[in-house]
Structure 1
Amino acid sequence: MDGFDPDATAATLTQALRPFGSTARAAQEKRYLKSELEFIGVAMPDIRRVVKAAVKDHLAAHGKRGVRLDRETAVAWALALWQEPVHERRAAAIQILQLAVTRLAAADLATIERLIRDARTWAYVDPLAGNIAGAVALRDASSWERIDTWAVDGDFWVRRSALLALMPGIRADQPDLRRFVRYTDPMLAEREFFIRKAIGWVLREISRQDPNWVATWTEDHVAEISGVTFREAARYLPPETKAHLELRRARR
């Protein structure tokens, strides 16, 4: 990271984003996310393109090719972007971490947790948890020691993150069903929508590979789970299984 100035590089990237901004989009997204941050109004595809170009340029200036930064540079650049309360800077920070996710390790989850706690919205929490923390944990099982603490944290965004961190393993055909049960058992009585939705999302993803397991779990918990959890869990189940579960739910 010799000669790398994270703050200056973050400022340069921000200036590269501004021409893609739209006042109308900025106002719309600010309302949609109910956010107090500043919005430039840049669409996510443009954010991804600008970030990728900036990373390529940085690496090319150091005689390297590709879009994979070293761990130290990626984390420093992301934190410099994140420190300003601007939506696009924070979205860009996440993109930089995603591009470098194979360079991150379990020790970096302390930084990811810090960002999750500061995020306060699904727009940042979900990729930080599902695309970054979960991807690191899939490679390095020691990551679960920290993620397990998230499942019982007092902050519902952190609890949601524990659930979403299970997703990469499920998609890689390595579902950790015991961990899912351990995480969700204390959460089933929660009234928080973002927890209920996340439980359903994880079940929906598991059902793509193991519909029988999801059907059994859902039937066993049909009287406890919320409507949103049930709908997501049953979404991809066979029609006859879904109909049976709907009947059981109606009779609960």
Structure 2
Amino acid sequence: MNKTEIITTLYENANPENAAPMKKYMKDKFDFLGLKKPERNLLSKQFLKGAKKDETIDWNFVFRLWSFPEREFQYLAMEYLVALKELLTEEDLSKLKQLILDKSWWDTVDLIAAKLVGEIGVRNRGFTESAMKKWAKSEDIWIARTALLFQLKYKEDTNKELLKEVIKCNLGTKEFFIDKAIGWALREYSKTDPDFVRNVIETVDLAPLAKREGGKYV
């Protein structure tokens, strides 16, 4: 299945009955084809299996998918990038930033942060950490949220001092998605280093939401 065929396949399998409630769940921010994840995965399985054999990332295809109004195409773009994540380089960070800033919402931003920016960070640690220090100070909440969440899957490889630094950059914002991200990052890392997280909760002036979310396991 080629790139044109997967786009056609998704359109041909659109389900208007599902589309309306899916759009409502996302606060009416995006149109939907009405393809829920299990069906979407089934339809794209063959395409993504073939894509894994690619030697380069087709960024024109990614941005083309991002331009479609239906949200399922942004999901497909991310799944395509995840399939080729080992090809991501530090030069691709700016492209991921474009995706974060366009059609921004938690459903795309969180995956880009943890699975794509995080992947670049694994192999380009110094470069990515330097970039995330800058992103943490961004006035755009989704860029800042990415800096908070990119280490989400790192476990014992988490740079905990960097985690603390990016949290401190985002205190007092009163932004739900920022405070939620702080709590999520702390909660996830508490599975690895509960003492560190406990110390952050006790010594840093976190918002009540961040403190509550971050302290669930400590």
- Which TM-score applies when normalising by structure 2? 0.92
- Alpha-carbon distance, 1:213 to partner: 1.1
Contact 2:114 2:150 survives alignment (8 Å): yes
1:111 aligns with 2:125: no
Q: Which runs of 4+ in 1 moved over 4 A?
A: none
Q: Distance in 2 between matches of 1:31 and 1:39?
A: 10
Q: Which residue of 2 aligns with 1:232?
A: 213
Deviation for aligned residue 1:112 = 0.3
Comparing 128-137 with 39-48, greater Cα deviation is found at: 39-48
Question: Is 1:166 aligned to 2:159, yes or no?
Answer: no
Give the 3-state SS of the residue equivalent to 1:119 in structure 2: coil
Larger Rg: 1
- Identify unmatched segments of 5+ residues in structure 1: 1-8, 60-66, 238-252
The 8 Å contact of residues 163 and 199 in structure 1, kept in 2 or not, is answered as yes
User: SS state of the match for residue 187, structure 1?
Assistant: coil
Deviations along 1:148-192, one digit per CA (max 9) or x if unpaired, are: 22111110011001111121323xx21111111111112121100
CA distance in 1, matches of 2:174, 2:211: 14
Question: Which residue of structure 2 lines up, in the alignment, with residue 246 of structure 1?
Answer: none
Gaps of 5+ in 2: none
2:33 corresponds in structure 1 to 40
Query: What is the TM-score when the length of structure 1 is the normalising length?
Result: 0.80
Which residue pairs with 1:51 in the alignment? 44
Does the CA-based 8 Å contact 1:119-1:125 persist in structure 2? no
The correspondence of residues 93-172 of structure 1 with structure 2, limited to 5 A, is 93-141=77-125, 142-170=127-155
Partner of 1:243: none
Q: Check whether the contact 2:31–2:71 (CA below 8 A) recurs between aligned residues.
A: yes
C-alpha contact 2:145 2:181 (8 A) present in aligned 1:
yes
Q: Percent identity?
A: 27
In structure 2, C-alpha distance between the alignment counterparts of 1:105 and 1:94, rounded to whole Å: 16
Matching of residues 15-34 of structure 1 within 5 Å? 15-34=8-27
Q: Which amino acid aligns with 2:15?
A: S
Deviations 1:129-150 (A, max 9, x none): 1111111111211223323221
Give the aligned residue type for 2:107: A
Q: Which whole-Å deviations, capped at 9, do the CAs of 1:27-79 have from their partners, x for residues lacking one?
A: 1111111244321011123323333311335x5xxxxxxx3432333x33222
Give the deviation of 1:19 after TM superposition: 4.5
Change (3 A) 1:168 1:13: same
Contact conserved, 2:65 with 2:74, CA < 8 A, in 1? yes
